[in-house]
Amino acid sequence: MRVYLLISVFIANIAFGFSAGDTSLFKVNTNLDIVINKYEDANIKIDGALDEPIWKKLPHLGNFCEVEPHEKAKPEVETEVMMFYDNDNLYLGFICHENDMSKLRKTLADRDKMFSDDWVGFIMDTYNEGKQAYEIFTNPLGIQGDLMWTAPGNEDATYDAVWYSAAKIYKDKWTAEFVIPFKTLRFPNKESQEWRFHLIRTRPRENRYQYFWVPISRDDPTLFTHYAVLKGIKNIKAGNNLEVLPYALSSQSGAISDNANSDSKFDNEKIKGQVGINLRYGITSNLTADFTLNPDFSQVESDAAQIDVNNPYALYYTEKRPFFIEGNAMFNSPSTLVYTRAINNPLSAFKMTGKIGSYDIGFISAYDRNSPFILPFEEKSVTLFTNRKSLSNILRIKKSLGKDDSYIGFIYTDREVSKDNNKFLDVDGYNRVFAVDGNYRFLQNYSFTFQLTKYITKEINYPDYYDTSKFYNGKYTSALDGESYSGLGGSASFARSARHWNFSFDYGNASPVARRDDGYITTNNFGRFSTSQVYTFNPETKLINRIEPGFYAMVRHDYDGRMRELFVGPQINISFAKQIYLYSQLYLVNNEQYGGVYHQGAHRFNLNLNVNTFDNLTGGAYLALGKFIVRDETNPYIGWGYNLELWQTIKLFDRLVLENDWNYYEVAKSYGGEKVYAGYIFRNKSTYQFNKNISLRLITQYDLFSQNFNLDPLFSYKLNPFTIFYIGSTYNYDNIDNSMGIARYVLSGRQFFLKFQYLWRM
């Protein structure tokens, strides 16, 4: 740790030796009210040109200030914004002046793939509470990006909405036009609206410059500590609109008849058809109900393979399915009690999300045809995929406390799993979770967060999963044999978020019988105390923008108080000029009880480097090098190894983008000794974008661990995030022995598919 602190001080001394210049004469905006007017029949053509008469008579909002990498400094270039509304839409126009258009970064890409470019847009909190906000952006080619922000600083990139944008490039500037339908938004049902608002421009050059109309401070714990207030919007409606989203899918699959013999016949199935429908109804401007019947939850883009060797715990996969993505931030809590990927293949599902007064309400009910299980234990977790049917009901309630991110909340999840007889709700087992949670912010920069949880489980009887081990000091078997048990869990966190010193003190525990069938948990039987301490320097120089030395420490014990793990890791995070970012951590103390042995001295370090200096080539590297615990169930020991990951994005020109990722993992019995695990996963995603709506994509992936090769081409047309047409295929090749015992790669599975869905708004 001493070495890390000396390095931090040395770098800080060098960095502070360079001056970024005096910005004290720049005067930031002080009147932060934005009052806009209503104009009907503006006859806006969404082309990005801003040449309609209405734009010329609107007041221009300017005098943006730089907030990154320098704080409250005068930007190199000017930005102007105009705004108005009518009965149905909110309109914004941006004028982005430039001093060198040759450095403008722009990519013709799919939506949400433009955040390495120049972009402009806004963030708006329509409930004026500082808890959740829409993020709406576009790049110089009109490519859209939208996210959902939640306090204190989380962003959900899976959020998608229907809105309209266009942009136009000139010799000395570029302009952007936004049209946001009110039926896309949720807001209070009252005559006059007041929304918290940010106007933003991001401009990647020598640094990643970010300009805000509101002069936010590095001492702000959340994005909405300081903000503009958008006023003047009156008598608008968003509720009582109906959305109908039907789809039709045709597919044909084939697979090798014997996975153990590459010479076996390849069987082609008959062409299959499938239809389904999603319905959404705006009960009020605050509350929305969704229903889906026979949804198509096949993944158009498959999950990237993850290395799971020497990892006894269940892997986590992000949610990609539109039905569950909408409003999923409502179900977040300090622990992952709701993990919608646990609802695997629903026949039907119902969801209601929104607000009633000061209460946020969320409810999901889903009937799953193939229920998965994550069974957590003290040193491992088991993932099972079954044919059992289940009914999941999830209720979330949060009450706002004041005008920041303080709240008190409640979560209830219940999954009832049927017997293996296809009878609806002939229940064989269940899992129920009750939790109370909350957050209280005080003295602006401090917060206290907690959660208290009760787990109740009755196992199903599932003889296909056989495990003779026991847990909780031998009280229960690890097999699924109908046992019943209940336990407690919880967490508490005290944190500070400010300009320089940031910290958190955290405690969490889970009893030996803690299970979350509708959530995500990989291990139980623990009590864990941890702390993170970080001090931030902001030199604002030509060499270094930010230096953050700190450390993370953790102590874990089991429910009987026995020591299980001890960790201390000093770390440093540096943001250099030229958009170069470096993070490193040293495992100074890394001791862990595993497999009956208390392993000490698993020292290693990791380093993460990201380089975004160039427009056409960005990338980075991750390296973990040193001692690893070899998690052999019968004879664990400390070995030597490394994990090296390299990634890059190559933009050959504005329309063609290649994304590569190579991840290598190796562990040996000792330094230079016999290898226990060694292999890599390589993944390439190549995308050619014909225009904003039409693209051709090819994913190529090779997994040396499983000796599996995948090839997934896809042609897509997207009118918006929900009106889509896909035609594609998947090819899986595996290394399989033939009848002579000679291994060769053979096509083991293939699928052709065609899908069309169309969104109607009524």
Residue 9: per-residue pLDDT: 45
Secondary element (H or E) of residue 372 = strand 372-376
List, in sequence order, the alpha helices (H) in 256-362: 322-325
- The answer on 600 and 622 residing in a single domain is yes
DSSP secondary structure letters along 11-24:
HHHHHTTS-----T
Q: Based on the number of CB atoms within 10 Å of its own CB, is 497 exposed (0-12), middle (13-18) or buried (19 or more)?
A: buried
Q: Could you tell me if 130 and 152 are in contact, meaning their C-beta atoms sit under 8 angstroms apart?
A: no
Residue 721 lies in a domain: no
* Residue range of the domain that includes 405: 308-531
Q: How many domains does the chain have?
A: 3
| pLDDT (0 to 100) of residue 8 | 47
- pLDDT for res 21: 41
Check residue 707 and give left, alpha or beta (phi > 0: left; psi -120 to 50: alpha).
Answer: left
Domain co-membership, 444 together with 571: no
For residue 321, what pLDDT is reported? 79
Q: Which of 411, 360, 370, 412 is nearest to 390 (CA)?
A: 370
Same domain, 196 and 328: no
**Is residue 599 within 8 Å of residue 619, measured between CB atoms?**
no
Say if residues 630 and 636 touch (Cβ distance below 8 Å): yes
Q: Which residues of the chain have pLDDT under 50?
A: 1-22
Quick one: pLDDT at residue 746? Answer: 94
For the chain, what percent of residues have pLDDT higher than 90?
78
Q: Is residue 345 part of a domain?
A: yes
In terms of domains, do 489 and 546 share one?
no
Residue-wise pLDDT tens digits, 3-46: 444 444 444 444 444 444 445 578 999 999 999 999 998 889 99
Tell me, what's the pLDDT at 298? 61
The confidence score (pLDDT) of residue 299 equals 52
294 found inside a domain: no
Same domain, residue pair 472 and 606: no
Instruction: For residues 211 and 142, give the distance between their C-alpha atoms in angstroms, rounded to a whole number.
Output: 19
40 and 151 fall within a common domain: yes
Q: Do residues 589 and 457 both lie within one domain?
A: no
The predicted pLDDT at position 297 comes to 66
Nearest to 641 by CA among 687, 675, 681: 675
- Is 319 part of a structural domain of the chain? yes
Distances (CA, A) of 127 to 189, 236, 400, 402, 583: 10, 14, 11, 12, 37
Query: Would residue 165 count as lying in a domain?
Result: yes
Structural domain contains residue 747: no
| Residue 374 phi, psi dihedral angles, 5° rounding | -115, 115
Final residue belonging to a domain, choices 196, 231, 266? 231
Q: Are the C-beta atoms of residues 737 and 261 closer than 8 Å to each other?
A: yes
761 assigned to some structural domain: no
| Claim to verify: residue 80 and residue 190 sit in the same structural domain | yes
> What's the confidence (pLDDT) of residue 402?
82
Contacts of 272 (CB under 8 A, 6+ apart): 250, 251, 252, 253
**The domain that contains 168 carries what CATH number?**
2.60.40.1190
DSSP state of 2: H
Q: What pLDDT, on a 0 to 100 scale, did the predictor assign at position 357? A: 86
718, part of any domain? no
Looking at 214, 231, 248, which one is the last position of a domain?
231
* Whole-number Å distance between alpha carbons of 396 and 217: 33
Residues 443, 545, single domain; the answer is: no
pLDDT at 656: 95
**Final residue of a structural domain among 210, 231, 252:** 231
Are 477 and 599 in a shared domain?
no
37 & 99 share domain:
yes
Strand-pair category, 359-368 with 346-356: antiparallel
Whether residues 465 and 545 fall in one domain: no
| Strands (DSSP E) found in 401-445 | 407-418, 427-442
Q: For residue 23, what pLDDT is reported?
A: 53
Alpha carbon separation from 37 to 197, 231, 295 (Å, rounded): 16, 9, 42
